[in-house]
Every structure is written in C-alpha cells, then in structure tokens.
Amino acid sequence: MNEIKINSYSKINLALNILDKRKDGYHEVETIIQSINLADKVIITEEREGIKIKCNHPQVPVDSQSLAYKSAEKMLKKYGIERGVKIEIDKKIPLASGMAGGSANSATILVGINKLFSLNLSNEVLREIGEELGTDVPFCIQNGTALAYQRGEKITLLPPINPPLWIVVINPGFKISTQWAYNNLDLEKVKGRKDNTKAMLTVLKEGKSQEIAKNLFNSFEELVIKKFPEIEKVKDRLINEGVLGALMSGSGPTVFGIAQNKKEALQIYKKLKPEYKLIWIVHSI
C-alpha cells in the first residue's frame, strides 16, 4: 500500500497591507508571509477508489465540499488518476486563526498526491493549481519567506531569514472569520496608513530580529482588536515579558511575538504557558 506523510506548516504575516477592493470582489493585498514550524501532519494513502478524509479535530469539515476533498479531487481528475486516496489530518494548527491551516492542508494534499502518483509536477505548476483553491495555497506549496500580492495568490519567494526568528505564538482560543474581517474593514482608513512593506523587505535581507520586529504591521489589527480586545491583552503580555515586537497574524486572532533568540523565547514561553492553553515556541523555516 503506497503511503506518504508530510508536515503541513502554518504561517504568520510579518506585514499585511490591504490596498483596495477589486472588481472581482476580492481585495488587493501586499503581504510578507513567513512559514513557522507549527504543523499539522498529513498522511495520504493510495486506495482503490474514492476520496476519504479523516481528521482528529471534530470541527474540521471532511465532506465533499471541504477544501481538503476538493484539493484531492482536482488532482485526481486533472491528471486522470483512476485510483483513490485516504487522507488523514492530525490537526495542530488552530482553526480560523489567521495561520492558513486549511490552505496548508490543501497545499500538502497537492504536493502529496504529486509524489504518491509520481506525477513529477513542478512547484510552479502546483502553485497554479493552488490558485484555483485558495489565496494562501500557492504560498503553502513552497513555504519559507515570500512577498504575496494581488489577491495574495501571486508570490515572489524571498531568501530565508538567517538566523531563523524565534517566536512565541499564542491563540486566544476563539475563531475569527476572514470574510467578516474583510467585510468590516474601513478601506479609506487603512489605505491612509504608512505602508511598511519596503522597509520590511530591506530589514529581512539583514536578518536582524530587532529590526524585523520594529516593522511588523497588519491592516486588520485595529478593526479586529476593537471587537476582540482580548487580542490586545495577549499582545501586551508578550511585550511586557520582553518580546521585541508582537503582531496579530492575518485576520486573527493568533498573536505572535518575536524574541531576541531561542533562550529568550523559551523564558517567555515558560512564563506565559500557565496563562494560555494554546501557546507554542516556534521558529521560522
């Protein structure tokens, strides 16, 4: 029985600028995305026929309308594969958390089926398929560090951050709908803000965590914090314990803090662990 196991990595947004609303109803964005080593595990097994999705998290959809199912179905149909797959997802990334967990799973399924059936498709081809499934999927095919633009589906890969960033990640334990965040965003207000993407691209080349932390930015943050003040409390706790900078990722509610180094990150993690159920120490990959 052919089987493949792959890590499905989450992401954070080091900078996220919402620029305008497009004619197609989506928003024009400019964001610098970074993979971190908090990951789901995905096992894909070749079957005689059909698509079966299993997940250890009861709230993850596994029916034919789920993103995981559609991702597998697209690959099998597009390349005329007359076999089936069973996909098992061991969920570690929180749901609706601004960390692209669903997109990461979709990307992993594309990559996994490509390997399982020896299709030998390039990452570029897989990213094109991913664009049809979700805006974060193309990035999650490749992982690493990238500038994403247009709807977020077009990416320019950047050199890895060296040395890697050490980061404390906290999820407050509730979900936020990305659609809600976009629908309630005051575009005129956020468009008038300073665009720090160029500054972030410059400091990323230098790889200094202090400078990267100074340039963190997220257009969604003010809106989301106003409705969910717990997010600001998490940010304040991280900053009070010594992170160089803290930011909400994506449309939230996950917050991350960049530490000076691994030792500092571990100290902050140990101090805050009794207060938060969903807390991790991670690094950029």
**Token code pair at residue 241:** 């314990």
Distance of alpha carbon 246 from alpha carbon 236, whole angstroms: 8
Distance of alpha carbon 129 from alpha carbon 82, whole angstroms: 19
Whether 86 is catalytic is no
Q: Which of 40, 74, 91, 136 is catalytic?
A: 136
Whether 194 is catalytic is no
Least Cα distance to 177 among 96, 79, 121 occurs for 96
Dihedral of CA atoms 202, 258, 189, 21 in degrees, nearest 10, equals 70
**Token code pair at residue 161:** 């951050």
Residues 6+ apart with CB under 8 A from 39: 7, 8, 9, 10, 92, 93, 104
Q: Which of 11, 74, 91, 235 is catalytic?
A: 11
Question: Both ends of the chain: CA-CA distance in Å?
Answer: 31
Q: Mind telling me the catalytic residues?
A: 11, 136
